[in-house]
Amino acid sequence: MNAIAFDKASLSVGGRSVLRDVTLAVAEGEFIGVLGANGAGKTTLMRAVLGLLPLSAGTIRIFGLPATRGNAAIGYLPQAKTAAASLRLRGRDVLAASIDGHRWGIPSLTGGKKAEIDRCLALVGAGALAARPMNELSGGERQRLLIAEALIGAPKILLLDEPLANLDPHQQQVVVDLVRELSRSLKLTVLFSAHELNQVIGAVDRILYLGQGEAAIGPVDSVIQPSVLSRLYGAPIDVVRANGHIFVMSGGAVVERDQHHDHAH
């Protein structure tokens, strides 16, 4: 059974069509790099998988069932910098707040929940980080902690929305390697969005490239083609390969670099 299946799905946000008639399937355990310019719809696609966005047409199925809010099979790391990141609160407490966070009542931390937090922290090697205040962690450390949080409750799918934003190249590599390793050892299906193909090229099984309301999914070599990308960018695109890196060029400039800014959505 597919972990994620889109069937002629169309997504719109605030009355604006973002993705049209998208059909794709992601097998269980696959690591998918999600690419596309700013505003191409990477975040929107993940929100739809989470059941946060009504579809304007088609269906999205998660392990055969329609996407619904609060699906315990999905772990999520949102793109927007979490409010907790700037607060002087220890990471462990922030993680604890997410367990059973949808239930009414007073927060409580039973032995079972503590053990679950410890298990997830250990998976990403963040046991010691969790004792420190969130606002004193480096970007890479914070992502490590938030990935641990996404693992709470043992989901089978991880949606990581631009987890490399604002990290230096070394930290980026550490995070990519960590997620790749987790996906192998825990048999997790991963959607990992990124600004630049080269950040994730070593880790992905396939890529999902978004643009102009369309989506192309497949192995790197079949998607990163001038014909496919010209359609997704709506402009003539060249693909230049050098030293194992691939550069997507338009009119002599690397298109991904132009959008290399962090933004909130």
Binding site residues, Mg ion, CB under 5 A: 42-43, 79
143-172 positions binding other proteins, by CB under 8 A: 149
Tokens of 156: 């089978």
| Nearer to Mg ion (CB atom), residue 91 or residue 193 | 193
Residues that bind ligand ADP (CB under 6 A): 13-14, 16, 18, 36, 38-44, 265
Stretch that binds other proteins, among 20-28, 75-83, 208-216, 241-249 (CB under 8 A): 75-83
Which of residues 76, 192, 209, 233 is near other proteins by CB under 8 A?
76
- Confirm or reject binding of residue 66 to other proteins (CB under 8 A): no
DSSP letter, residue 213: T
Among 103, 111, 243, 251, indicate the residue that binds other proteins (CB under 8 A).
Answer: 103
CB 38 to ligand ADP: min, Å = 4
Rounded alpha-carbon distances, angstroms, from residue 50 to 32, 71, 152: 16, 7, 16
The partner in contact with residue 103, picked from other proteins, ligand ADP, Mg ion, none with C-beta cut-offs of 5 to 8 angstroms by kind, is other proteins
Count how many Cα atoms sit within 13 Å of the Cα of residue 226 in the half-sphere of its side chain.
9
**Distances from the Cα of 87 to the Cα of 83, 92, 179, angstroms:** 7, 13, 26
Q: Are the C-beta atoms of 69 and 52 separated by less than 8 Å?
A: yes
219 part of the interface to other proteins, by CB under 8 A: no
Q: How far apart are CA 190 and CA 205, in angstroms?
A: 10
Binder of residue 107, out of other proteins, Mg ion, ligand ADP, none (CB less than 5 to 8 A by kind)? other proteins
- Other Cβ atoms closer than 10 A to 41: 26
* Residue 107 touching other proteins (CB under 8 A): yes
Q: What does the radius of gyration of the chain's CA atoms come to, in whole angstroms?
A: 18
Site membership for other proteins, residue 246 (CB under 8 A): no
- Measured from the Cβ of residue 133, the count of other Cβ atoms closer than 10 Å reads 13
Partner in contact with 13, chosen from other proteins, ligand ADP, Mg ion, none, beta carbon below 5 to 8 Å by kind: ligand ADP
Q: For residue 233, report the phi and psi dihedrals to the nearest 5 degrees.
A: -95, -10
| Residue nearer to ligand ADP on the CB measure, 40 or 228 | 40
